[in-house]
Chains A and B, each alone.
Chain A
Amino acid sequence: AQSVTQPDIHITVSEGASLELRCNYSYGATPYLFWYVQSPGQGLQLLLKYFSGDTLVQGIKGFEAEFKRSQSSFNLRKPSVHWSDAAEYFCANQAGTALIFGKGTTLSVSS
């Protein structure tokens, strides 16, 4: 069965510092991969998606992610974190019509 692993449960970064959130997927000849963000009390907002083509994808809010087939990874990055980026981040892989989510990484931003 397909699975998505987010190894880091909680990460704290300083405001202005760079960020990388890790995501590994288990299977997919051509995986369809997504990053979503969830702020407290809110739904899931799509940050970016990868279907094919350029392995570096740009998303909203200054986020980007790089697909690396050799590492089965799709890590999320941001060069300079803002306090408003504090939230929970979910990586997901498409399986049929469903999305398989990782357990999420909680991002805290310190001043």
Chain B
Amino acid sequence: EPEVTQTPSHQVTQMGQEVILRCVPISNHLYFYWYRQILGQKVEFLVSFYNNEISEKSEIFDDQFSVERPDGSNFTLKIRSTKLEDSAMYFCASSESTPPLHFGNGTRLTVT
């Protein structure tokens, strides 16, 4: 069964550094998403992306964040200047149209 893959599985970075989280969505899917789960809290929507532009974003997704589909297969989330509170599990997801979404296994980001 096709799946969403995310790399790396765990990333450690220092506060103030830029990080790029990578995702390869399911190949025939058209909608892409990023979600975040801070330890012990609920999964929170960050952004949805369709037709090479942001469809919707949450209040969490401020100027510090950006998304890109640099080629036909990858979908990335960039965090420009990481803060301690950005430490979380970041999930990429994709869908053929709108939900249901298929999620990757996540990237655990630790900001020190």
* Residue ranges of A at the interface with B (Cβ–Cβ < 8 Å): 32, 34, 36, 41-46, 49, 90, 92, 94, 96-104
Contacts and interface: CB of A to CB of B under 8 A. Distances in A.
The B interface, classified by DSSP as helix, strand, loop or mixed, is strand
A98 B46 CA distance: 9
A102 B42 contact: yes
Interface stretch (B13-21, B72-80, B102-110): B102-110
Query: Max chain B CB contacts within 10 Å: which of A36, A49, A94, A101?
Result: A101
B68 interface: no
Given A43-B4, A97-B98, A98-B58, 14 more contacts: A36-B103, A43-B103, A44-B93, A44-B103, A46-B102, A49-B99, A96-B48, A96-B55, A97-B48, A99-B101, A101-B44, A103-B41, A103-B42, A104-B42
Given A43-B4, A44-B43, A104-B42, A99 B91 contact: no
B2 interface: no
Contacts of B44: 101
Contacts of A41: 105
A90 B106 CA distance: 16
Interface of B: 4, 31, 33, 35, 41-45, 48, 50, 55-56, 58, 91, 93, 98-106
* Shortest beta-carbon contacts, A-B, top 10: A98-B45, A97-B48, A44-B103, A43-B103, A43-B105, A101-B43, A103-B42, A97-B56, A97-B55, A101-B42
Given A42-B105, A43-B105, A103-B41, A96 B100 contact: no
Contacts of A100: 45
A44 B98 CA distance: 16
21 contacts: A32-B99, A34-B99, A42-B105, A43-B103, A43-B105, A43-B106, A45-B103, A46-B100, A46-B101, A92-B43, A94-B99, A96-B56, A98-B45, A99-B45, A99-B99, A100-B45, A101-B42, A101-B43, A101-B44, A102-B42, A104-B42
